[in-house]
């Protein structure tokens, strides 16, 4: 571990010497080295969502969030039922793709921005779909990255509220909060358009 930290420090110092303008992106890429790039990186870069929402999405994409199935696999004796729908076992794939609570929030957000809804029910096809939508620098891709990160974060926070505080808000309330956050965080060119859309 210490060796890894020292190597990372050396890499960062070299990057700073080689470049006049050092950005977080260039530091990240130099630390990444020659490792293969993940296909979902388009969701992470140039995403105007809150940093905490991007971190949640980053963990979700790697299946590193402490969902009930993962906690149980580490030997914890816990109720593995999904807290949001009370219907299925809680896994990353269920929580973010199949759960009716999440789907209903997503449907409301898609209706808000007047995009067709999607009805995918497997993580692999879901991942393929989000990568396709998030790729590129056009306004549509920028908006999709923002909404996806904020929506994933909202679902995770809602799940935590239910577990730790035994509180669950109305899904409409959650969807509106995501929409509000997107209006606040979107680049100016998108933000003014979003604010003109009515939330149904």
Interacting span for Zn ion (CB under 5 A) from 52-60, 80-88, 137-145, 163-171: 80-88
161 near 169, Cβ under 8 Å? yes
Query: Does residue 168 bind Zn ion (CB under 5 A)?
Result: no
What's the min distance (Å) between Cβ of 83 and Zn ion?
8
48 near 146, Cβ under 8 Å? yes
The only residue of 42, 61, 99, 130 in contact with Zn ion, by rule CB under 5 A: 99
Tokens of 117: 């809804």
Burial class (CB in 10 A: 0-12, 13-18, 19+), 73: exposed
> What is the per-residue binding string for Zn ion in 31-70, x denoting contact by CB under 5 A?
----------------------------------------
- Nearer Cβ to Zn ion (87/125): 87
51 near 181, Cβ under 8 Å? no
- β-strand partners of 194: none
Interacting span for Zn ion (CB under 5 A) from 12-20, 55-63, 67-75, 97-105: 97-105
The Cβ of residue 193 has, within 10 Å, a number of other Cβ atoms equal to 14
- Nearer Cβ to Zn ion (81/140): 81
- Nearer Cβ to Zn ion (82/130): 82
- For residues 102 and 18, what is the distance between their CA atoms, to the nearest angstrom? 45
Catalog residues that contact Zn ion under the rule CB under 5 A: 82, 84-85, 99
């Amino acid at each position: 571990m210490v060796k890894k930290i020292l190597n990372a420090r050396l890499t960062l110092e070299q990057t700073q010497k080689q470049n006049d303008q050092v950005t977080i992106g260039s530091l990240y890429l130099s630390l990444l080295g020659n490792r293969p790039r993940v296909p979902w990186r388009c969701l992470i870069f140039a995403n105007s969502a809150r940093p905490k929402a991007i971190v949640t999405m980053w963990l979700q994409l790697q299946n590193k969030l402490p969902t009930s199935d993962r906690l149980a696999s580490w030997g914890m004796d816990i109720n593995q039922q999904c807290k949001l729908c009370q219907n299925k076992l809680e896994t990353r794939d269920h929580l973010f793709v199949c759960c009716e609570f999440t789907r209903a929030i997503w449907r409301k957000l898609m209706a808000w921005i007047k995009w067709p809804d999607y009805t995918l029910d497997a993580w692999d096809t879901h991942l393929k779909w989000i990568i396709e939508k998030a790729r590129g620098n056009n306004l549509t891709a920028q908006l999709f990255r923002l909404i996806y990160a904020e929506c994933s974060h909202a679902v995770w926070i809602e799940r935590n509220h239910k577990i730790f505080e035994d509180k669950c808000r109305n899904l409409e309330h959650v969807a509106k909060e995501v929409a509000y956050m997107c209006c606040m965080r979107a680049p100016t060119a998108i933000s003014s358009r979003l604010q003109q859309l009515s939330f149904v």
